[in-house]
A and B are shown apart, each in its own frame.
Chain A
């Protein structure tokens, strides 16, 4: 996959398949270029045995075939930048997937269309309570479906195309502002590392 936002969309779909009603997507960047992505849900969770082999491409819950590449690809993407993947899960306790990426690494994909990812997750599961937060030293972007539902009321679904467009535009603007702020942010000198 060409964008981190596509990996995030893919892994977050697992949360929805796991019956989550709450999903928190948190991206935290630091001034040195490290990005931490936390995808936390209150879905059905995994038992230790399944958890131990979940990043194996031959582990899947899908019924159409025997391979499941989602987490396997995500793990690879993180490791290729020198980052790592951590998973915390227990049956009935939900799952938290944490991945770290070195955004300055040559093999780190661009963030890509985060607004599209979040907007489509909401469109696909309008009942889900989703909180998105992208925090950086130069600013923040955020969106919460609870706030949207408070405005829209019960009768208008977050799956409506008009609402999708609004969410996408709103977040795109926020992300573009972040991007702009990152350009002018005085980043501390990066220590040379040869590995």
Chain B
């Protein structure tokens, strides 16, 4: 395995950032369904896109995580966004190109992308 040096540099950078992080109560959670249904429908590139976008923008208050089957397999890939104090938002049939829009409008500017939600799809 190569470039562990590079990883050391990342560690140093992250240690500094961690001290700057706010309290965990205002953490936004993004959850991607990664069961067979999600994976087959293309959830992997969606999850990757979220992680890349969060890293690119340096969003310290966003946690991206994975879950199993959310229960509406025909609408996969499904992404749930939990903003503390607000109702859960469920995005359906998410494609990687929709991810930057969701990150910018919802995670950064707190405005739900209504067109992509389960309410618009049903």
Contact = CB atoms under 8 A, between A and B. Distances in A.
A117 B1 contact: no
A6 to B, nearest CB: 5
Contacts of B14: 156, 160, 162
Given A155-B15, A156-B11, A161-B52, A13 B40 contact: no
B54 A17 contact: no
Given A124-B66, A161-B55, A165-B55, A113 B34 contact: no
A64 B71 contact: yes
Given A62-B68, A123-B66, A161-B52, A6 B4 contact: no
A174 B39 CA distance: 24
A149 to B, nearest CB: 11
Interface residues of B, number: 36
A165 B52 contact: yes
A146 B98 CA distance: 35
Contacts of B112: none
Nearest to B55: A161
B3 interface: yes
Contact of A120 (B36, B40, B47, B71): B47
Interface in B49-107: 51-52, 54-55, 63-66, 68-71, 73
Interface string A1-33: 100001001100100010000000000000000
A70 B68 CA distance: 12
Interface string A112-137: 01001101100110000000000000
Which secondary structure characterizes the binding site on chain A?
helix
A37 to B, nearest CB: 16
Contacts, number: 99
B25 interface: no
B41 to A, nearest CB: 10
A163 B44 contact: no
A164 B49 CA distance: 11
A157 to B, nearest CB: 10
B6 interface: yes
A161 B36 contact: no
B7 interface: yes
Interface of B: 1-4, 6-8, 10-11, 13-15, 18, 34-37, 39-40, 44-45, 47-48, 51-52, 54-55, 63-66, 68-71, 73
16 contacts: A1-B39, A10-B35, A13-B34, A62-B35, A64-B69, A64-B71, A69-B37, A70-B35, A73-B40, A116-B44, A123-B51, A148-B7, A151-B4, A162-B13, A170-B2, A170-B3
